[in-house]
Amino acid sequence: MSNDTSLAGFIRGLPKAELHLHIEGTLEPELIFALARRNGIALPYASVDTLRAAYRFKDLQSFLDLYYAGASVLVTEDDFEAMTQAYLERAQADGVMHAEIMFDPQTHTARGVAMETIFAGMARAMRRMRESAGLSSRLLLSFLRHLTEQEAMQTLEQALPLRERYDDLWVGIGLDSSERGNPPEKFVRVFERARGLGFRLVAHAGEEGPASYVRNALDMLHVERIDHGVASEQDPALMQRLVRAQIPLTVCPLSNLKLCVFPDLAQHNLARMLRLGAMVTVNSDDPAYFGGYVGDNYLACAHALGLTRAELAGLARNSIAASFLDDKDKQRWLHQLDALIKEI
Ligand SMILES: [Zn+2]
């Protein structure tokens, strides 16, 4: 067995949570074509290969344009179920025990898809995988930040009547899409409303945007976790605060590479932040578009950044600690990981 195979096996064997994952970003080209055919939707790509060949991005916006086109094939409950099922099976193969899944209802409701269709399809797959495979998952309803706060508020109000029906799954609120020019302060009121309703809060910040967006997401939106947050390093006082308060950063290394946030993986700051004591985690973001699921992200970082097995296990430990799992489940996985780390 080569070192690479054994390292991949070690990574797969780490019980881990995936905390930064957009379900629409798990649509593989094959599934996009299958759903387009089923729903009679014409795609501007001749084949799976031409679509995959278009996955060369120069920045966040060039990716988002393609991402929204891909999501347009999602119409029925069955479509949302098939997408979610495919992701959960893939995550399970990577040793994911718990997944916190972001979804963008506005991408779908704007095309006439009912909120209920989105929830119902995803829930079917999530509950099935919980029963059949013991894989737990939760939903984070995310607002598109390039749209207005009023539209975000309407989306929240539209989803609220479904809360009770999906209260085993829907636990939180997120903020994603085009970061630059759409700072956290644009969404203060809708986050305030969500907080009052008892939702857990996360937001993308400091991916392409500056460190001040991370600060404002914490101070003005009162989020518990920062999605990405890699720009925090530009502000040493902020970095110290993140370490001191152990505020989780859900880092997505292969995404950062694909969207040119870092010129190559060897220059990524994941290992630096980890060694500084920050609560960093490794995630796949939009794995179908960025060339790798969560296991691939761990493995690529292990190679490019020289992460030790103890550090890889520490990253998995952080992912469980930073999750919104119930305390009992959290302790169970942490206990397993601590035992495993002792043996390294
Ligand atoms: Zn993201």
Q: 176 CA distance to ligand 1 centroid (A)?
A: 6
Q: 40 CA distance to ligand 1 centroid (A)?
A: 29
Helix (H, G, I), strand (E, B) or coil at 118: helix
Rounded-to-integer distance, Cα 290 and Cα 56, Å: 9
204 is in an annotated binding site: yes
For residue range 189-220, what is the model confidence (pLDDT) as tens digits? Answer: 999 999 999 999 999 999 999 999 999 999 99
Residues by chain with Cβ below 5 Å of ion ligand 1:
285
222 is in an annotated binding site: no
For residue range 312-341, what is the model confidence (pLDDT) as tens digits? Answer: 999 999 999 999 999 999 999 999 999 999
Q: Which of 179, 207, 208, 311 is catalytic?
A: 207
Which pLDDT belongs to residue 65?
Answer: 87
**Phi then psi dihedrals of residue 192, to 5 deg:** -60, -45
22 is in an annotated binding site: yes
For residue 69, pLDDT over 70 is answered with yes
Rounded-to-integer distance, Cα 43 and Cα 307, Å: 41
Q: 142 CA distance to ligand 1 centroid (A)?
A: 10
- The CA angle 179-126-297, to the nearest 5 degrees, is 50
- 149 belongs to the catalytic site: no
User: Dihedral through CA 12, CA 18, CA 23, CA 24, nearest 10?
Assistant: -80
The percent of residues in the chain predicted with pLDDT above 70, rounded, is 99
The percent of residues in the chain predicted with pLDDT above 90, rounded, is 92
Q: Using an 8 Å Cβ cutoff, are 173 and 204 in contact? A: no
Q: 344 CA distance to ligand 1 centroid (A)?
A: 32
pLDDT band of residue 2 (cuts 50, 70, 90) is low
Which pLDDT belongs to residue 1?
Answer: 46
Structural domains in the chain?
3-343 (3.20.20.140)
Bridge partner residues of 200 (DSSP): 172
pLDDT band of residue 171 (cuts 50, 70, 90) is very high
Which pLDDT belongs to residue 95?
Answer: 98
Sole residue written with tokens 């999750």: 323
| Strand stretches in the chain, DSSP E | 16-22, 96-103, 136-144, 170-176, 200-205, 225-228, 249-251, 280-282
What mean pLDDT is reported for the chain? 96
Q: 270 CA distance to ligand 1 centroid (A)?
A: 16
- Please give the average per-residue pLDDT across 36-61, as a whole number: 92
Which pLDDT belongs to residue 121?
Answer: 98
DSSP 79-96: HHHHHHHHHHHHHHHTTE
Which pLDDT belongs to residue 3?
Answer: 64
For residue range 96-111, what is the model confidence (pLDDT) as tens digits? Answer: 999 999 999 999 999 9
Q: 235 CA distance to ligand 1 centroid (A)?
A: 21
327 is in an annotated binding site: no
Q: Using an 8 Å Cβ cutoff, are 248 and 226 in contact? A: yes
20 is in an annotated binding site: yes
